[in-house]
């Protein structure tokens, strides 16, 4: 069946070397064949992660000169878009690792001393996990000053990929005697004493993403593990960096989910192609999907393969397009279900899982109303988070 819907070319954003889109496309059918079972059992797709490791995908963002795959930011987005078509939960978990590594690549390009960790990710295929989005500006938990570092107690949520994580990038709140409430950012091995990955990810959507809570019970964090500190609740430049890099990577996954739902719907309604009602529903679906595609392409263009200016204008452009993408892609998937009809709610078809998964997109920051507030205040010359 022909279509005017835009799809990612095989060489989208390609760096010289490995074609990462082709790599995940080859793995995709196997992932798709296991997706329903992982979803039904609320289990983590460990087999998928192992195959990704064998193909060196966790090192894809690392520059080639540091031993990695040398993928551009555009190619990372295209890779995750393709993977999202086959198993959204695996793709979402991978996107959380990928955006952390990609952010370190940006820091490395600015001269930050992160090369040793990037080299380890490439060589050892380390899996990075984070609680960053759930902590956001205020963080959570407490850090108590002790000899040589801090003792951290916290419970972190939405730690995607945690069942196979190697390094946790997180934060905690320290009541600094001089500076007041201060957020400390740090990275610690998942095997650190006092750190426990729970098995509590039981959700409506993205059930196989392994986004469990992680408990830190008096975990010792040495001074040299503290990567940065900032005032609680304030917008600092690193959030501009995180938005520009992570936003397109994460939402490329949801674009893949929506495209999979669209393709499945067209297969299922082919026998009703002469029904006028179907024409309108499919037309609405196509319009919504293309709107989402344009919004996400706009996000990718803002990042411009790490050459963006890390300012509020870039953040604003990203979060506006994120809201448009979420609303449009959610509508596209819902229209896919409406077009298919009542049969679409049967799990055997696979569409109802895509419908559930797309609804997770709305919860990534900035959520719609917070984006409206951020953008509105910025347009009026105010502090966007004041």
Q: How do the domains of the chain map onto residue ranges?
A: 20-126, 132-231, 237-379
d(CA 368, CA 313): 18
Rounded (10°) angle between helices 312-340 and 368-379: 140
- Among candidates 354, 378, 375, 353, which has minimal Cα distance to 366? 375
What pLDDT sits at residue 286?
98
- Both tokens assigned to 21: 């889109």
Calculate the alpha carbon distances from 305 to 124, 239, 355 in Å. 25, 17, 31
Report the run of H or E that residue 174 belongs to, with start and end. Answer: strand 167-176
Q: What kind of architecture, by CATH, is found in domain 132-231?
A: Beta Barrel (2.40)
Inter-residue contact 97 to 125 (CB < 8 Å): no
d(CA 223, CA 206): 36
Low-confidence ranges of the chain (pLDDT < 50): 1-4, 9-15
What pLDDT sits at residue 83?
98
Q: What is the CATH number of domain 237-379?
A: 1.20.140.10
What pLDDT sits at residue 13?
42
d(CA 367, CA 111): 32
For 20-126, CATH number out of 1.20.1440.60, 1.20.140.10, 1.10.3720.10, 1.10.540.10 equals 1.10.540.10
What's the sign of the alpha-carbon dihedral 24, 26, 29, 30? negative
């Amino acid at each position: 069946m022909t279509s005017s819907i835009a799809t990612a070319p095989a060489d989208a954003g390609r760096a010289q070397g490995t074609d990462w889109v082709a790599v995940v496309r080859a793995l995709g059918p196997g992932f798709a064949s296991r997706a329903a079972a992982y979803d039904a059992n609320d289990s983590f797709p460990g087999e998928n992660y192992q195959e990704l490791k064998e193909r060196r995908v966790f090192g894809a963002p690392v520059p080639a000169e540091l031993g990695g795959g040398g993928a551009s930011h555009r190619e990372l987005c295209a890779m995750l878009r393709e993977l999202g078509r086959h198993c959204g939960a695996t793709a979402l978990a991978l996107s959380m690792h990928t955006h952390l590594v990609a952010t370190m690549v940006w820091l490395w390009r600015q001269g930050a001393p992160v090369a040793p960790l990037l080299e380890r990710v490439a060589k050892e295929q380390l899996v990075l996990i984070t609680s960053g989005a759930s902590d956001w500006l205020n963080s959570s938990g407490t850090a108590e000053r002790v000899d040589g570092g801090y003792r951290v107690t916290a419970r972190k949520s939405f730690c995607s990929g945690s069942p196979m994580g190697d390094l946790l990038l997180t934060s905690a709140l320290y009541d600094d005697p001089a500076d007041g409430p201060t957020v400390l950012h740090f990275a610690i091995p998942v095997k650190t004493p006092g750190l426990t990955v729970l098995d509590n990810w039981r959700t409506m959507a993205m059930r196989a993403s392994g986004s469990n809570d992680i408990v830190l019970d008096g975990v010792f964090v040495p001074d040299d593990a503290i990567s940065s500190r900032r005032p609680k609740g304030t917008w600092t430049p690193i959030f501009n960096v995180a938005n520009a890099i992570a936003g397109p990577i994460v939402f490329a996954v949801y674009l893949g989910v929506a495209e999979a739902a669209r393709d499945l719907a067209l297969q299922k309604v082919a026998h009703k192609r002469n029904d006028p009602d179907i024409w309108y529903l499919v037309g609405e679906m196509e319009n919504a999907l293309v709107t989402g595609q344009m919004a996400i392409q706009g996000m990718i263009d803002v990042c411009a393969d790490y050459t963006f200016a890390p300012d509020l204008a870039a953040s604003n452009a990203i979060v506006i397009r994120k809201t448009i993408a979420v609303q449009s892609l959610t509508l596209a998937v819902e229209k896919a279900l409406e077009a298919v009809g009542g049969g679409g709610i049967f799990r055997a078809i696979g569409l109802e899982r895509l419908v559930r998964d797309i609804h997770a997109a709305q919860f990534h920051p900035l959520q719609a109303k917070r984006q409206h507030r951020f953008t509105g205040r910025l347009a009026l010359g105010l502090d966007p988070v004041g």
